[in-house]
Structure 1
Amino acid sequence: MKGLFLLIFMSCIFCLSAQVGRARIVDVFLIGGQSNATGQGYVRNIPRSFEVDTTVMFYYSRYLNGGKGGERWRLLCQASESDDKFGVELSLGTCLHNEYPDRNIALIKHALSGSNLYEQWNPGNRKGETRGEEYAKFIETVKSGLAQLREKGYTPVLRAMVWQQGEADARDIAGMERSRLYGINLNNFIQQVRLDLGAEDLLFVYGSVMPMAASRFTGRDLVRNAQKEVAEGSGSSLSLPSAIWINADDLQMRCSDYMIPMPEDDVHLGTYGVLELGRRFSQVIIRKWGDK
């Protein structure tokens, strides 16, 4: 009888210790890119049926929200150029925590509207190239956020990064050669992010760009095709494991959003489009992450 009691007691201690250890682990998800990552959805147009899960932790760079509230951990909120707009952070964090209510979920974000991959997000790891300003800001933001989590007693674990970018590399002002190099540059970017953050298996999820053709985006087809080539299982020499492309062409655009100042915008996602993109990102992560 004593042996049975001892076995049960030790089992309880083991389970409690495992729960305590798990409670200190934080699953971290990164957000980067240009304007559709920064977010052009309007806070005032978010439907009442959508409730932000404020148990999710959030850290964003000092360059977002007009320089207000960044570089510190806070409850999940919007973070775009200004506080009247939001990005995928709201639905991404909420959907992930809905799926994993017993886990600590944290997001780290840096993005800049209009930024390109060939220069501003260039890791600077190839001969003759220099590290781009946005890449440097992103890595600095992520490392700072992780360090603050450790100072709070957490053990952060990088799980995935979501990325929405490519329009700037398809613009006529970028030049067709840079559009042609998008696949090579995206492949290099993903690999270097994983290397710089010490997460060689980091899941990298990104959505299609520019569903609407426009004359100023002369390299549109090149960039869109390159996105698919980099994806896992594409059969291309640029393909990378755990790089997942998702279709975002059917999402609502800002030109069809409700009472907005830019009714002719043919580039940016609208309120419902941003919310759905974040949800789709989360669904890929959930499917690939499984029960880890």
Structure 2
Amino acid sequence: MKIVFFTFFCLLGFGTVSAQINKDKAVEVILLAGQSNMAGAGNYTALDSLVKERVIKVANRVMISNSGNPLKPLSFYLSKGHKEKYGFEEAFGPELMIGVTLAEKNPNTLYLCIKRAQGGTALYGAWNPEWTAEKAIEVEAEGFKRELKLYSNFINDIKVNLKRLDDKGIKYKIIGMVWEQGENDAAKEVSTLSYEANLAKLINGIRTEFHVNDMPFVLGQINSHYGNFPAGPETVRTAQEHITQVLKNVAVIKTTANEPYDDFPKHSDKVHYNEIGQYRLGVAFAEALLQMKNQK
């Protein structure tokens, strides 16, 4: 194996990579998208110091572009909203332990996470690959969310980041996508009943756009209960399981349907995963991606 110090990664934000890297090995790209539990309300400050050390140790090999923002090494992000609601500002989503788990399993690989998340948005509306103003008005809350075209924004995020690699002559490979979303679709009948069909369109759309027809796709099963359609949560949960039988290379991280949510613990709002829940969720996503990758 050749030892290469990727000085050109300084231009991308990677800095100097001291690990042994095969210069012909592609940067592995992970796509991440969804609503608030993808954005993440994990309390980074509350994590064990050993976990934080693990994050720091791999941060020079895992970069993230979050919602169109410039590349940064893997770490927490700052949230004024979480500070007001939960009392902490340093927050993280599933990308944290996805990055740590993948990097620890593959110490000679560089990773790029491309993430876009917006709380309180629906696949029927803002995330719809076939977005229309009428659909957005049906399901999105009044205000800016009715104007959001998150699917097209996400496609643009990916293209910008991949072009950055292309421009520097850096090889890359999209190894999978992680999806954490569905709570807002379960809140209304029209979005609930079309969830599986819309999810299939999103998966097929991403795969087709970036010529990765067999791209592994892992989704987290929802378990929140709110909205005006009582059958919504269970219907969406069932759709999220069934899609794994309809499309190839799709996996679901199953969750318990009701409290106390011991598998992936939540904050007291019973909606958002806390630091333990987000930690476990990230590990589960990463392990599923690795298993699907190894089966190919």
> What SS does structure 2 have at the residue aligned with 1:29?
strand
Give 1:4's aligned residue.
none
Deviation at 1:251, TM superposition (A): 3.0
Give 1:35's aligned residue.
36
Does 2:115 correspond to 1:117? no
Give 1:87's aligned residue.
93
Question: Is this contact kept in 1: 2:94–2:279, CA < 8 A?
Answer: yes
CA distance in 2, matches of 1:243, 1:114: 24
Match runs of 1:168-247 below 5 Å: 168-171=184-187, 175-210=188-223, 213-214=225-226, 218=230, 219-231=232-244, 234=245, 239-247=246-254
Does 2:100 correspond to 1:107? no
Deviation at 1:80, TM superposition (A): 6.7
Give 1:3's aligned residue.
none
| 1:168 to 1:213, Cα distance in 2 relative to 1, 3 A | closer
CA distance in 1, matches of 2:100, 2:239: 30
Tell me which amino acid in the other structure corresponds to 1:28: V
> What SS does structure 1 have at the residue aligned with 2:23?
helix
TM-score by length of 1: 0.78
Deviation at 1:289, TM superposition (A): 1.1
Give 2:86's aligned residue.
none
Deviation at 1:247, TM superposition (A): 1.2
CA distance in 2, matches of 1:28, 1:84: 25
Q: Which is higher, the Rg of structure 1 or of structure 2?
A: 1
Sequence identity (%)? 28
Tell me which amino acid in the other structure corresponds to 1:277: L
Question: Is this contact kept in 2: 1:78–1:89, CA < 8 A?
Answer: no
Question: Is this contact kept in 2: 1:167–1:209, CA < 8 A?
Answer: yes
Tell me which amino acid in the other structure corresponds to 1:112: Q
Tell me which amino acid in the other structure corresponds to 1:20: K
Give 2:59's aligned residue.
54
Tell me which amino acid in the other structure corresponds to 1:145: N
Question: Is this contact kept in 1: 2:124–2:135, CA < 8 A?
Answer: no
Give 2:71's aligned residue.
73
**5, 21, 24: which is aligned to 1:21?**
24
Does 2:104 correspond to 1:98? yes
Tell me which amino acid in the other structure corresponds to 1:181: S
CA distance in 2, matches of 1:266, 1:275: 17
Unaligned runs of 5+ in 2: 3-20, 81-88, 137-146, 257-261
CA distance in 2, matches of 1:221, 1:110: 26
CA distance in 1, matches of 2:34, 2:234: 19
> What SS does structure 2 have at the residue aligned with 1:109?
strand
| 1:57 to 1:87, Cα distance in 2 relative to 1, 3 A | same
Does 2:163 correspond to 1:162? no
Tell me which amino acid in the other structure corresponds to 1:285: L
CA distance in 2, matches of 1:115, 1:177: 14
Deviation at 1:190, TM superposition (A): 0.6
Question: Is this contact kept in 1: 2:131–2:149, CA < 8 A?
Answer: no
Question: Is this contact kept in 2: 1:117–1:185, CA < 8 A?
Answer: yes
CA distance in 2, matches of 1:188, 1:76: 30
TM-score by length of 2: 0.77
Aligned residues: 249
> What SS does structure 2 have at the residue aligned with 1:153?
coil
**268, 277, 284: which is aligned to 1:280?**
284
Unaligned runs of 5+ in 1: 1-11, 64-69, 256-262
> What SS does structure 2 have at the residue aligned with 1:177?
helix
